[in-house]
Amino acid sequence: MNAQDLNKKKAAEFAAQYIEDGMTVGLGTGSTVAFFLDALAEKKIDFIGVTTSNRTAARGAELGMKIVDVDEVDHIDVTVDGADEVDTYLNGIKGGGAALLMEKIVAKNSNKNIWIVDQSKVKPVLGTFPLPVEVVPYGSGQLARKFEREGLNPTLRLDQAGKTLVTDGGHYILDLHLDGIASPECLSDYLSKEVGVVDHGLFLNTADIVIVGGDKIEV
């Protein structure tokens, strides 16, 4: 296992201590969350998992977890998810794994949000990581051209076979290649108002706790 994965695993295993018997737990998506699912399975506690992607639902079921959709629960005690970048205000970019829409819905419906990251993801300013924007397929070409004109450098995300990636919600992703985001709030407002944008990967004022895996764990 490389150093980054080891640090992801450390953060994920640390997060497992926040989960108690009887809780309803939002389960994020990604490689760090995969370590968290393994750590949870080892705890052998009884909980309900709320999924944020088909991938997480499948892995959770494989591990013998009870996995439900967000509409099947009346509350979510805590959600544990990864992130692509986190700044010192605990704002972040998510969506590298194309699950940002369900992740944001689950996060917004959670009493507490915990992010698990390796230390390389902590940045003074967000925006080195391309910002994912989930868009409706119809008109996505026009939207991409508009973003291009506005200097947001969009690229249409492709899957491993080189075809247009389609999210679990049936949408496309435009990744914006920005050289740092000076005002995440302004960009978030701008993107949210664009017709055809379903949601974007700026998660502002969402995380309550960030667990950073490195030589030691920082919370």
- Where does this chain touch ligand 5RP (CB under 6 A) — which range of 94-102, 142-150, 159-167, 184-192? 94-102
Annotated binding site: which residue ranges? 29-32, 81-84, 94-97, 121
- DSSP state for residue 131 in the 8-state scheme: E
Backbone angles phi, psi at 132, to 5 degrees: -75, 135
Interface residue with ligand 5RP, options 13, 77, 81, 87 (CB under 6 A) = 81
Question: Which among 131, 132, 153, 143 is positioned nearest to 196, based on CA atoms?
Answer: 143
Could you give the CA distance from residue 219 to residue 37 in angstroms, rounded to a whole number? 20
For residue 186, give every residue at least 6 positions away whose Cβ sits within 8 Å of its Cβ, in sequence order, or none.
none
- Set 42, 72, 85, 103: catalytic member: 103
Least distance in Å: CB of 94 to ligand 5RP?
3
Interface residue with ligand 5RP, options 19, 80, 100, 144 (CB under 6 A) = 100
List own/partner pairs for 187-193 with CB under 8 A and 24 or more apart.
187/131, 191/133
Cα–Cα–Cα angle for 184, 90, 23, rounded to 5 degrees: 125
Give the nearer residue to ligand 5RP in terms of CB position, either 98 or 212: 98
Look up 150 and say whether it is catalytic.
no
- Where does this chain touch ligand 5RP (CB under 6 A) — which range of 16-24, 89-97, 146-154, 176-184? 89-97
Give the nearer residue to ligand 5RP in terms of CB position, either 19 or 106: 106
- Catalytic (active-site) positions: 103
Residues making contact with ligand 5RP (CB under 6 A): 28-32, 81-84, 94-100, 103
